[in-house]
Amino acid sequence: MNIDKILKFFVPKDHSFFPLFESAAQNLVQASELLKELMASKGIEEHERINKAIKDLEHIGDVITDKTYEQLNKSFITPFDREDIHELTAHIDDVVDYINGISRRICLYKPKKIIPVYIEMAEIIYQGAKELETAIHCLKDPIANKEKIASSCAKVSALEHHADETYYIGISDLFDNEEDPKELLKNNKIIETLERCVDEEEDVADTLKAILVKMA
- What is the pLDDT at residue 11? 39
Q: Mutual orientation of helices 116-137 and 181-215 as an angle, nearest 10°? A: 20
Listed by start position, the domains of the chain span 15-215
Residues 126/194, Cβ–Cβ less than 8 Å: no
User: Which CATH number does 15-215 carry?
Assistant: 1.20.58.220
Q: Do the Cβ atoms of 96 and 57 come closer than 8 Å? A: yes
Report the chain's C-alpha Rg in angstroms: 19
Among candidates 162, 31, 168, 156, which has minimal Cα distance to 104? 31
Selection from 81, 205, 62, 59 nearest residue 138 by Cα: 205
Single out the residue of 166, 193, 191, 165 nearest to residue 178, CA to CA: 191
The confidence score (pLDDT) of residue 16 equals 84
User: Distance (Å, rounded) from C-alpha 101 to C-alpha 189?
Assistant: 11
Helices (H), the chain: 3-8, 17-40, 44-74, 82-109, 116-137, 146-177, 181-215
CA distance 182 to 185: 5
Q: What is the pLDDT of residue 6?
A: 44
Residue range 23-81, pLDDT digits in tens: 999 999 999 999 999 999 989 999 999 999 999 999 999 999 999 999 999 888 888 89
> What is the pLDDT at residue 216?
62
**Sites in the chain below the pLDDT cut of 70:** 1-15, 216
Its pTM stands at 0.92
Residue 160 CA to residue 203 CA, distance in Å, equals 10
